[in-house]
Structure 1
Amino acid sequence: MNKQNWPLEDVRHWLEPGPVVLISSRWQGKNNIMTLGWHTILEFSPSLVGLMISAGNVSYSLIRQSGECVINLPDASMADIVSGIGNCRGDSTDKFAHFDLTAEKSEQIAAPGIAECHASFECRLYDDALVERYNFFIFEVVAARVKPEPEWPQTLHYTGGGIFRGDGEVIDRHRLFTKVS
């Protein structure tokens, strides 16, 4: 079967880099949460993560001012909450209260994690050279907390248009990887 043309504005349907995350932030006593699907691992040590955060988002200014955030990993059971957070404004809604989420004290930064999420990764701004031009923040993960069970939670992957997909079964091919990391 031959490949067919695909709309350029919808290539994320195929190239979504990873699970949808919830970004929590705090600045001058104000907390916010945003849904984010545009992130990438940039380095292993130090642990660097790139996040694309629109300048029109309330979290953008909180993160720009504080230089920190928490990347929270929801599981598939939180799909309605993830969608709701992504479709309401943080300037008029306390998202922790509205979505009945628990703000969890972080170890290294002021921004809270989200207790209901499977994992929370505390981040400090590492490099902001691409923020003004591309809204691309580079963060260093300075603390990480992950629930021990399940080992592989079902995560959400956004394909656009309000459609999420799951991450599927775990396929173990570690025996084929000969380089020690």
Structure 2
Amino acid sequence: MNEEIRAREVRLVDTDGTQVGIVPLSEALRLAEERGLDLVEVAPQARPPVCKIMDYGKFRYEMSKKDREARKKQHLVAIKEVKFRPNIEEHDFQVKARNVIRFLEDGDKVKVTIMFRGREIIHPQLGERLLDRLKEEAAEVGMVERAPKLEGRNMIMILAPKSGRGVKKEEIAED
């Protein structure tokens, strides 16, 4: 910006976005100084470099404002974990299933773990039946990303939100 620009000639763009043309650097600096603004190099790789007359402080403020807005709107996908036991009671299953559905609606992936203790491991079909039931409960909001698999004493399945999900209830209300 300003005296830090090293090119002899620049392609000058005015404050309203109109092209002035290719002018010597000294003339471009003089025009910017007359208006009380800065000469900012916006495309240094071009030949000759493109420079625009603007208020640099205001430009930086606008860019940081856009960055903050973009960060606010992005939603990081987290992996939530819900643990079950093979002999879970019906009410406990329903409570955990509701949690799984809520996580999927929020746009998060869910790792469902069934923990086997002692001799329960000789009945993996109990765990598969439980995971199939959960898959049916969450079918409208999520889909299986990784099928049930026995890993040591745990059976693990990963559910992901269906495409188009992850929209917050507040955003729907605003539309």
Query: Which TM-score bucket, shorter chain as reference?
Result: under 0.3
- Give the TM-score taking structure 1 as reference length: 0.23
Provide TM-score, normalisation by structure 2: 0.23
Q: Which of the two has greater helix per residue? A: 2
